[in-house]
Structure 1
Amino acid sequence: MERMALGTEGIAVSRMCLGAMALGGVQDKETSYAILDRFVELGGNFIDTANCYMFWLPDGTGDESEHLLGSWLADRGGREDLVLATKVGRRPSFPGGGLEASEPLTSERIAASLEESLERLGTDYIDLYWSHRDDRGTELEDTVAGFDAAVKAGKARIVGASNHVAWRVERARQVAAATGAAAYTAMQNRYSYLQPRPGVRLPEGGHVHVEPGDIDYVGNTAGTALLAYSSLLSGAYTNPGKPLPEHYRHPGTDARLEVLDAVAAETGASRNQVVLAWLCGHESPIIPLVGVSSLAQLNEAADGLELRLESEQWQRLTEAA
C-alpha cells in the first residue's frame, strides 16, 4: 500500500486509514483481529480510533475500540511501524450522557483523557492526537496549550482537528504560532464522492462535512492533510440493503451516480473502488478513512487504492452535477 508524509515530523502513513470505531464493539474480537492483521499484511499502518467509541451501544462505555486495539497490540508484540491516532472531546462527561454532555477541550481534560487512552491502548505515546470537535465553550488558547503539552511531554507526536471548519483550524494555528505551541497538522471531516444537499443539517450528531474551502486549505498549507471519514457512505454505494440517506437524494446525486457507474464499467472496478480512487486523485492530500466489517470489504478497498483513473475520468466524475 502506497504511503505519504503526514505532518513535518517524518511520519509516513498508508494511503488509507483504517477506521477502528466498530472494532471491539460491533465487531467481535476474532473478526477485529482478522481485519487488523489483514490491513497490516496489505501494507497499511495508519489506524484511527477515539476515546468514546462506541458509548452509544447498549451497555457501551466508549472504551471498546481502544481496549480492543490495546489487546491486539499486546498480542502482536508491539506497535512497530504503526501510526496510531485517537481523539478527545466527544466522550460523555458522565455515564449515560450523550453528545450534549461531551467532555470539554480544556487543557486539564486533554491531559487526563490522554492518560486514559494511553492506558487502554497499552502504549506510552500517540502518533496523532485529535480534537474530536470544535469546543466553542473553551478558550482556544487553553485547547491549544493542552495539545501542546501532550506533544512536549512526548505523549503525542502531532495533533489534528476533527469536525472543524478550516477558518477555526487556521485560528488555532495562529494561536499556536504566537505561543510557539504545536499546531494542528491534519483535518478530519466527512467527505465522499456523493454530496449532501447544500445547506442540509446532517442527521448524525457532530458530523462536519467537507467544504471546498477545506480542500483548498489543506492543499495550500504545508504539512497538512485531510482525512475523509464516511468515505464509502457506510456501504450505500454497493449494498442494496443500505439505501442512500434522504439528505443525499437530489438531482445532483443521480447525475454523479450515472458517471460513477460509467467509470466503474470502463475500469472494471466497483463503485467503492472508483470512489476511493477519486478521493486519492485530488491534488490536495486526502486520505480516505475506511471502516470495514469483513476481510472482503477490506480487500476491495485496498484494491481501490491501486486504481489509477485517467485524468479525463477524474474530471468527468468531479464535474458531474
Structure 2
Amino acid sequence: MNTTDPQIVLGTMDFGTRVDRERAFAILDSFVADGGAWLDTANCYAFWNDPSGVGGASERLIGAWLRARPGARDAVRIATKVRQNQLVPHSWPESAEGLSAHAVHAGVKESLGRLGVDRIDLLWAHAEDRTVPLEETVGAFGELAQGTVLRVGAANHAAWRVERARSLAREQRVEPWTALQLRHSLVQPRPLTPLAEAGHRMLTAEDMDLARSEGLAVWSYSALMWGSYVRADKPLPPTYDHPGTSRVLAVLDDVAGEIAATRNQVVLAWLMRQGIDPIVGVSRVEQIEEALAARGVRLDDEHMARFAEAR
C-alpha cells in the first residue's frame, strides 16, 4: 500500500445542495485550519438532491470557496470523479456520461471550469463502464495525467479490472491508476447480501492484497455509515443486522471507553491503522473537528485483534 501516513479526507458530496454555502465554507475553513488537505468530490454530486437534476453543485461550491480564500488552492488537494454525471436531467443511469475518451476529457474540462482551477490532484474513474474498451479509458486517463491531472485512480472497480488497467497503462506507457476508492467501515454487511445503494462496491481482502503488493493508496467512503455509529435516528441498514455487528459494536464501546475517544474517532483510527484514508462527509463544523481529532487516537495490536475476533 501507499507508504504515506493515512489522512482524513473531507467528503463534499452534499456541499451546494443539502449543505448550504455558509455552512460549507465554515467546514472548509475549519478543515484547512486544522491541517486537513484532501477534498473529495465528483462531477455528479449531488444530482439526486439538486432540482436541476444534474451534478456540479459540489464542484461549484468548492470553486466559490477557493475564489473567496486567496491562497487556499495551495493548501488543499482536490480529488474529483468522472463517469456518473447525467447528460440529461433526471435521467440516471440512462444518460450517465460513461468512461469513453470523449466523456472523460469533456468531464474533466467541465470540472476544471466549475472548480476554477488549472489542475486536478487526483482524478477517479467513479465506477466501471464495461460498454467502453478498457484500453480507451486507460488511454484517456493517461493523456490527462500528462497535463491537467496529477494522479489517477479507480473507484468502485473490481481488483482484476484495476490490475488489467495498470497492465494496459504500462503497455501504452501512460500513468497507471495508483489509488483505489471503495466502501468500507468497521461494521460489515451480511455476507453475500446485495447492498441497497446502487453502484457501491465493498472493499475486499483482494483489494487490500492488490494495494499492498502494488503500493496503491486506499480511500474508504461511507466510513462512518452516515452517522449510524452515534445517532439513534440513523440506524444501520438491514443488511448489517447480524450477530457480527452486535459483537463489533460491543467492542467499539469498550475500546472507546478505554481510550477516551468517541465511537466515530475509534472507527476512523481503526481504518487509518490499516493504512486506509477515510473519507468523512459532514454537515457541521463540530463534526469535522471530531473527525480530525481521530488523528491523535492510537489503537494498539490488542485493540485491532479484539475487533478482528468480533467480526
Same fold (TM over 0.5): yes
Contact 1:70–1:122 (8 Å) recurs in 2? yes
Are 1:191 and 2:201 counterparts? no
Instruction: Provide the TM-score with structure 2 as the length reference.
Output: 0.96
Q: Distance in 2 between matches of 1:212 and 1:140?
A: 24
SS at match of 1:69: helix
Q: Indicate which of 68, 89, 107 corresponds to 2:101.
A: 107
Are 1:215 and 2:215 counterparts? no
SS at match of 2:109: helix
One-letter identity of the residue aligned with 1:311? D
SS at match of 2:150: strand
Query: What's the counterpart of residue 194 of structure 2?
Result: 201
Q: Distance in 2 between matches of 1:291 and 1:167?
A: 29
Instruction: Provide the TM-score with structure 1 as the length reference.
Output: 0.93
One-letter identity of the residue aligned with 1:280? M
Q: Distance in 2 between matches of 1:287 and 1:307?
A: 15
The number of residue pairs the alignment matches comes to 309
Q: Distance in 1 between matches of 2:167 and 2:2?
A: 23
Contact 1:192–1:275 (8 Å) recurs in 2? yes
Are 1:54 and 2:59 counterparts? no
Q: Which runs of 4+ in 1 moved over 2 A?
A: none
Query: Could you give the per-residue CA deviations for residues 280-310 of structure 1, whole angstroms, max 9, x where no partner exists?
Result: 111xx31001111111111111111210012
Query: What's the counterpart of residue 220 of structure 2?
Result: 228
Structure 2: tracts of 5 or more residues without a match: none
Contact 1:189–1:210 (8 Å) recurs in 2? yes
Q: Indicate which of 117, 121, 124 corresponds to 1:130.
A: 124
Task: Compare relative contact order (CA 8 Å, sep 6+) and give the higher one, 1 or 2.
Answer: 2
Contact 1:14–1:45 (8 Å) recurs in 2? no
Q: Distance in 2 between matches of 1:100 and 1:310?
A: 47
Are 1:288 and 2:282 counterparts? no
Shift of residue 5, structure 1, vs aligned partner: 6.5
Query: What's the counterpart of residue 23 of structure 2?
Result: 31
Query: What's the counterpart of residue 263 of structure 2?
Result: 271
Q: Distance in 2 between matches of 1:261 and 1:108?
A: 50
Query: What's the counterpart of residue 261 of structure 1?
Result: 253
Q: What fraction of aligned residue pairs are identical, expressed as a percent?
A: 45
Select the structure that is richer in strand: 1
Contact 1:13–1:46 (8 Å) recurs in 2? no
Structure 1: tracts of 5 or more residues without a match: 7-11
Shift of residue 57, structure 1, vs aligned partner: 1.4
Q: Distance in 2 between matches of 1:44 and 1:15?
A: 8
Are 1:143 and 2:137 counterparts? yes
Shift of residue 318, structure 1, vs aligned partner: 2.0
Shift of residue 119, structure 1, vs aligned partner: 0.2
Contact 1:88–1:105 (8 Å) recurs in 2? yes
Contact 1:277–1:308 (8 Å) recurs in 2? yes
SS at match of 1:47: strand
Q: Indicate which of 301, 304, 308 corresponds to 2:291.
A: 301
Q: Distance in 2 between matches of 1:113 and 1:263?
A: 44
Q: Distance in 1 between matches of 2:70 and 2:80?
A: 20
Contact 1:105–1:135 (8 Å) recurs in 2? yes
Q: Distance in 1 between matches of 2:151 and 2:196?
A: 31
Contact 1:134–1:164 (8 Å) recurs in 2? yes
**Distance 1:89-1:298 versus aligned 2 partners, 3 A rule:** same
Q: Which stretch shows the higher mean deviation, 264-273 or 95-104?
A: 95-104
Contact 2:32–2:75 (8 Å) recurs in 1? no
Query: Could you give the per-residue CA deviations for residues 252-293 of structure 1, whole angstroms, max 9, x where no partner exists?
Result: 1111111111111111111111101110111xx310011111
Query: What's the counterpart of residue 309 of structure 2?
Result: 319
Query: Could you give the per-residue CA deviations for residues 38-75 of structure 1, whole angstroms, max 9, x where no partner exists?
Result: 00011001001000001011504311100000000011
